[in-house]
Amino acid sequence: MAPLPPPPLLNRELGILAFNRRVLAQALDPTIPALERLRYLCIVASNLDEFFETRVAQLQDLLEHDPATLTPDGLPVSEALRMIADDAHALVAQKYQVLQRSIYPLLQGEGIRFATSGQWSERQLQWARGYFEREVLPVLTPIGLDPAHPFPKVLNKSLNFAVMLDGTDAFGRNVDLGIIQAPRALPRVLAMPLDLVDGDHRHAFVLLSSLMQAFAGHLFPGLRVLGVHQFRVTRNSELFVDDDEITNLRTALQGELRARHYGDAVRLEVTNACPQPLLDRLMRENALQPRDCFRVDGPVNLARLQSVIDMVPRPELVYPAHVPAALPGWPGAEPELFERIRAGDILLHHPYDSFAPVVDLVRTAARDPQVLAIKQTIYRAGHTSELMEALIEAARNGKEVTVVLELMARLDEETNINWAARLEAEGAHVVYGVVGFKCHAKMLMVVRRERSARRVEQLRRYVHLGTGNYHMRTARLYTDFGLLTADEAICADVNQVFLEITGSSRFSPLRRLWQSPFSLLDNLIKSIRHEARAARAGRRARIWARVNALVEPTVIAELYKAARAGVEIRLLVRGPCMLRPGVPGLSQSIRVRSVIGRFLEHSRVFYFYHDGAEDVWISSADWMERNLFRRVEIAAPILDRSAKAKVIREGLRVHWLHPGNAWDMDSSGGWRRARGWHTDVGSHQALIESRNPPLQA
């Protein structure tokens, strides 16, 4: 029998753009409140910023330094960039079409409008001029371009204005162009005073760009303003820290963070009204090609419109408030919580279940005289955090606090550096992960001195393992699982992983956990192959999984083999998926679904039927090369029967039973709404109602 050709893969970057199309579809859904629809539009804008800063930037680097490279789906990098540019241009055009034709009219109907300078009344014009002169003009630094003032290298994603001028300045120099960079401290959206809002509108907003359009001449007195055009440059924001050269990661990273704002340009955004000669100059000054330039029908910094949501006190225009359910019988921040964990594993499903038990565990450990040590990994925690404050309190109280704080967490580097300084100031041991391997595992361990039934003192460990970050805000917005356990084997494994990270011990096989970069991939493949053997033997075989991304070729190849053996495979993939489902002879038994809704799908769950044993794992790892080879990750088994049933029911099955917020993937990589979506409440609402059933009429 001739060997099968290599498994066909889809393009990862096109998969990311397809995900953002699914998010953009939420902005068009008439069942979603108006301001939430605006939020989805802003999320797409923010996602695209990161897409260009990272994915497109990496491909452009490849094109420059190794143009013969092929992408994992077999495309020359130049062809991949062309396809990505075409798709991105179409998506951006669609995004602004949604803004102009759907979101603006929708908000107008709710009494919310964005007032441009040409629409201002005389009173509004006076207010705008006064605000500009008091609050904006003093902090702006206009640059008139001449041989002594070359084109400035503007900050990454900053809002800038190119002012076309005519005339000579005070020194007799001919000036035809000025550049103004809007300081980040300036608000991009202003609420007009209520006494100036006229007509049927209850809220009127003015964009900073409208102020600049109206009053840019104040910055160039004596010159004639021919036009004011906003533009924005997106730059490569990857951090380049040489693993072989650094002696202090924190110091090296602090220096690199300053340079991030001035990386190579990868995208230019201008408004439709920008004249072609000016656009050509902006492209030339930033060494960009026409495919890298995006003309847009609206503000170039679209993500900043999200601030409007908090400026409009209209609860009916956002999702109804969701209060996560309290854990029944939970003692709160009291020592009795240790007894509760000892009595049996506790599974939390956020944001449907409250994150409070995790915070209570750290806060109680900080104050309990019987607790000797706390060890925790931190990837993202946010600028403010009760949990981080509890760790600081623990160190202040004399506990042995060890925090593995990942300084290379993308876009949270500066925040994590600040937390590291505060923790160290209180005497905590702060470890900056493992150079070359981001520490992405979510682990918390408390060591407590207790008396046994025979009154003998012993040390007992308590552990929390999760799929999501120890981040108070995202715990209310992202779906994640967390396990509280005192299982001795799991606790011993967690202790071993901490020793590997903080010390210099060699990897030792773990009893319960799977760990990247050592055993997680191998165990995944073993489990997939076990299901394939069962199917070939005529036994029931099933693989269900839930990840944020499926792009690792080895895993995809094994799933194809399992599908050909007859294994039932259902995959919930939030974002990019390089696997092709439903291809006869290759993946006919594989279904791929993406869930997009009120909450961000973030859990990683792996389920293998395993001859009826139903092995279930929760993990911090996606099925991506970086997670399986270049990160410290863990996958934890769910051993308790009721907890396992909860993960299967709420983490997997519910998304196949409630298609209201689901999309199904076809063999070409296209996505369509799941059958029955328009009559269903969706999995997120179904899970909310499972905690708080709606009142019966």
Task: Spell out the residues 6+ positions from residue 421 whose beta carbon is closer than 8 angstroms to its own.
Answer: none
Q: What is the largest CA-CA distance in the chain?
A: 95
Rounded-to-integer distance, Cα 546 and Cα 423, Å: 35
Q: Which residues in 108-122 are b (16+ Cβ under 10 Å) and which e?
A: eebbbbbbebeebee
Q: In the numeric block, which tokens belong to residue 536? A: 């070939």
CA distances from 230 to 213, 267, 340, 483 (A): 9, 14, 59, 49
Task: Spell out the residues 6+ positions from residue 585 whose beta carbon is closer than 8 angstroms to its own.
Answer: 564
Rounded-to-integer distance, Cα 272 and Cα 580, Å: 38
Rounding to the nearest 10 degrees, give the CA dihedral for residues 328, 329, 333, 336. -140
Distance linking the first and last C-alpha atoms of the chain: 65
Nearest Cα residue to 55 out of 76, 73, 23, 80: 80
Rounded-to-integer distance, Cα 617 and Cα 528, Å: 13
Is 440 labeled as catalytic in the residue annotation?
yes
Rounded-to-integer distance, Cα 650 and Cα 410, Å: 30
CA distances from 524 to 233, 467, 520, 554, 615 (A): 42, 17, 6, 10, 11
**Alpha-helical segments (H) within 144-232:** 208-215
Q: In the numeric block, which tokens belong to residue 614? A: 């139903």
The sign of the torsion formed by the CA atoms of 173, 176, 181, 182 equals positive
AA identity, residue 20: N
Residue 479 CA from chain centroid, whole number: 12
Query: Angle at Cα 156 formed by Cα 153 and Cα 162, nearest 5°?
Result: 55
> Helix, strand or coil for residue 444?
strand
> Residues, the chain, total?
697
Pairing of strands 346-350, 371-378: unpaired
Nearest Cα residue to 376 out of 426, 421, 433, 457: 433
Where are any strands of DSSP class E within 551-661? Answer: 568-573, 590-595, 600-601, 604-608, 615-619, 631-637
Residue 565 CA from chain centroid, whole number: 36
Rounded-to-integer distance, Cα 351 and Cα 602, Å: 11
Rounded-to-integer distance, Cα 568 and Cα 590, Å: 7
CA distances from 329 to 335, 340, 357, 472 (A): 14, 9, 11, 22
Rounded-to-integer distance, Cα 2 and Cα 467, Å: 42
Q: Which of 440, 464, 655, 658 is catalytic?
A: 440
Is 433 exposed, middle or buried (CB count within 10 Å of its CB: 0-12, 13-18, 19+)?
Answer: buried
> Helix, strand or coil for residue 475?
helix
Rounded-to-integer distance, Cα 146 and Cα 154, Å: 17
Residues noted as catalytic = 440
